[in-house]
Amino acid sequence: MTVDKDFKQLVRARARTTGESYAAARQRLLAPTSGPAPRQGLSREDTHAVRFDRVIPVLRIFDEERAKDFYVGYLGMTVDWEHRFEPELPLYMQVSRGELALHLSEHHGDGTPGTVVYVATTDVASLHAELRGKEYAHLKPGLDTDEIGTHVVVLDPFGNTLRFNERPPS
C-alpha cells in the first residue's frame, strides 16, 4: 500500500471512531503537532476546560505556482508541508511566517474565494516597506491608518484578502 492509501485509511478509521466527517478527521490529522503542550487540568484562574490555541484559516487556491510565488516569494512565508492523496490530485499545504500559519487548498469545497483573513501584526510599517521593496508586478499595497489601527491590505491571486493590522497604542 502507498503512504497516501494508508493515510486515507487512517482518516476513514478516525472519522468512524470519532463520528467526525472525513474532512474534519483529515484536518485534525494534518494539523501541526508542535506548539504548547496540552494542559493537564484546570487552574484556579481557568473555569473552562476548552481552550483554543490557534486558528489556521484554509484559503482556496487554484494554481500551485502562483500560490507559492505570492505566499513564499512575495509575503516571505515558508512552505511547512505539502500533501496530495495521489500525485495528480489537488494540493493541500501549510505556509507560515512567525506565528502566522495558513492552509492553502486546491480541493473543491475547502475555503471560499474572496475570504478575508485579519492578521494582528506588530510593526506593520516594516512589513509595508518590505512588500513595497519587492518586485511583484501585481500588487503595491498602501499603508493606511483608521480607528482600528494601521494596516496593509493585500489581495492574493485567488481573490482572498489578508489584512495585516497593528492596533493603535492604548
Q: What is the mean pLDDT of the chain?
A: 87
In a domain, 13, yes or no: yes
Who has greater pLDDT, 131 or 25?
Answer: 131
For residues 116-138, give the mean pLDDT: 94
Instruction: Kindly report, residue by residue over 50-104, the tens digit of the pLDDT.
Output: 888 889 999 999 999 999 999 999 999 999 999 999 999 999 999 999 999 999 9
Residue 10 lies in a domain: yes
18 band by pLDDT with thresholds 50, 70 and 90: confident
Q: Which three cell numbers stand for residue 68?
A: 507559492
Q: Is residue 79 part of a domain?
A: no
Report yes or no on 5 lying in a domain. yes
**Amino acid found at 169:** P
Enclosing domain of residue 6: 1-27
Residue 122 forms part of a structural domain: no
Structural domain includes residue 65? no
Q: Is residue 16 part of a domain?
A: yes
**Is the residue at 116 inside a domain?**
no
The count of structural domains within the chain is 1
Q: For residue 143, what are the contacts with CB-CB under 8 A and spacing of at least 6?
A: 124, 125, 128, 150, 151, 152
